[in-house]
């Protein structure tokens, strides 16, 4: 890895069939670009103005119940609707449009306004995982739903409009673009090797250990070899399962554990409530068997050098190829060296600890 750690090079992402440019020397350049204003992290446990807090009004006539655990409701401003409105017209092959049905829900992780996954207890996160399973099964049972996308946008940098701990679920009639890429690439790999791609990949990463951030008996978290975001991670169960519903009790517990440990590490990196987009990728809900699918989670955080410097995907990244400024191995080492005790609870920054 000596040459790759110093020289510009490309890395291939076998999950999507795409490439990323790595430029290890670029991090030494001076930064005179945008510097973000850090958000105020002091929040009350209950905010009477928050439309996600227990007992508060939402849009229209909706009022939240006085929930005491994870709470799910249909999105008041859903991007997709379950009803079909007429027929869609098209003109030849250059002007093609199709109606898309779907359902959108919001998952409040906790009634506490001032928490995030990183500060929730293990048992509270287990409850979130259980709700994800329940929702995947419920939404996937609709005959017109082909894919259920579970995700969280955390932080204003990721477009989150409310700091209350919550995620979303969008269930779609068609297979979305990113899962479709992984669907195709995993299927081709499985047909060639008769094993899932991520079973082989995670096994190789665990053997090498250079990009592994943390693991337990059922899950592992790795900065993938092909990561395009600075501190991107991929979380996968060690046993190949097609969906979150196929996890056994120990694997659900292991998912909650790895989520807590990773989100604590993220917060501890720059001593800030770390923004990210996180989502699960799993098999379509079309009623067919998809043995090539291996459930996994992606974390895509935007921060680059500090809590106030963001990575932008612009210019060459938008017009040509995604690019990153330091190696995934470097990112993994930084994350691996961090404490799993949240900084608000007295964790020592890695720099001070000599890590």
- 4, 111, 136, 238, 255 from 15: Cα distances, Å: 21, 36, 22, 17, 21
Q: For domain 44-85+99-353, say whether CATH 3.30.428.10 is its number.
A: yes
Rounded to whole angstroms, the maximal C-alpha distance in the chain is: 64
In which residue are the tokens 């659900």 written?
252
DSSP 124-164: HHHHHHHHHHHHHHHHHTSTT--EEEEEEEESGGGT-S--S
Candidate ranges 51-60, 95-104, 137-146; pick with highest mean pLDDT: 137-146
**Residue 31 scores a pLDDT above 60:** no
Q: What percent of the chain has pLDDT over 90?
A: 78
219: nearest Cα among 204, 196, 236: 236
pLDDT band for position 37 (50/70/90)?
low
Which of the pair, 199 or 93, is modelled with greater confidence? 199
Q: Spot the catalytic one: 113, 164, 166, 292.
A: 166
Tell me the per-residue pLDDT of 196-237, one tens digit each, with 9 for 90 and over: 999 999 999 999 999 999 999 999 999 999 999 999 999 999
Question: Any catalytic annotation for residue 166?
Answer: yes
Answer yes or no: are the C-beta atoms of 241 and 247 closer than 8 Å. yes
* Dist CA 342 CA 260 (whole Å): 10
Average the pLDDT over each of 26-30, 161-165, 192-196, 204-208 and give the range with the smallest value.
26-30
Which of the pair, 351 or 154, is modelled with greater confidence? 154
Tell me the per-residue pLDDT of 63-90, one tens digit each, with 9 for 90 and over: 999 999 999 999 999 999 998 766 666 6
Tell me the per-residue pLDDT of 264-322, one tens digit each, with 9 for 90 and over: 999 999 999 999 999 999 999 999 999 999 999 999 999 988 888 888 899 999 999 99
* Dist CA 349 CA 338 (whole Å): 7
Q: Which pLDDT does position 27 carry in this prediction?
A: 65
Q: Model pTM? A: 0.93
Q: Which pLDDT does position 160 carry in this prediction?
A: 83
């Amino acid at each position: 890895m000596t040459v790759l750690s110093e020289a510009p090079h490309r890395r291939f992402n076998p999950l999507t069939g795409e490439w990323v440019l790595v430029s290890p020397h670029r991090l030494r350049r001076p930064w005179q670009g945008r510097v973000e204003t850090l958000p105020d992290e002091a929040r009350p446990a209950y905010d009477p103005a928050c439309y996600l807090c227990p007992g508060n009004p939402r849009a229209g006539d909706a009022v939240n119940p006085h929930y005491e655990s994870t709470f799910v409701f249909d999105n008041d401003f859903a991007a997709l609707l379950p009803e079909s409105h007429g027929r869609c017209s098209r003109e030849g092959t250059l002007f093609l449009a199709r109606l898309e049905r779907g359902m959108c829900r919001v998952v409040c992780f906790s009634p506490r306004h001032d928490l995030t996954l990183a500060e929730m207890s293990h048992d509270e996160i287990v409850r979130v995982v259980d709700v994800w399973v329940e929702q995947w099964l419920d939404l996937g049972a609709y005959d017109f739903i082909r894919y259920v996308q579970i995700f969280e946008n955390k932080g204003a940098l990721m477009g989150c409009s409310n700091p209350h701990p919550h995620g979303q679920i969008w269930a779609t009639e068609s297979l979305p673009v990113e899962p479709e890429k992984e669907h195709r690439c995993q299927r081709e790999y499985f047909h060639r090797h008769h094993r899932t791609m991520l079973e082989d990949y995670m096994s190789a990463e665990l053997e090498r250990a250079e990009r592994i951030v943390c693991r337990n008996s059922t899950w592992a978290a790795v900065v993938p070899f092909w990561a395009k975001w600075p501190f991107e991670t991929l979380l996968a169960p060690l046993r190949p399962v097609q969906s979150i519903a196929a996890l056994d009790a120990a694997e659900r517990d292991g998912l909650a554990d790895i989520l807590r440990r990773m989100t604590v590490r993220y917060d501890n990196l720059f001593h800030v409530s770390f923004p990210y987009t996180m989502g699960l990728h799993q098999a379509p809900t079309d009623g067919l068997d998809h043995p090539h699918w291996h459930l996994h989670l992606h974390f895509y955080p935007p921060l680059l050098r500090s809590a106030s410097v963001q990575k932008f995907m612009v210019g060459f990244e938008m017009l040509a190829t995604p690019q990153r400024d330091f190696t995934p191995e470097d990112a993994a080492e930084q994350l691996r060296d961090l404490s799993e005790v949240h900084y608000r609870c007295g964790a020592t920054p890695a720099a001070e600890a000599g890590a």
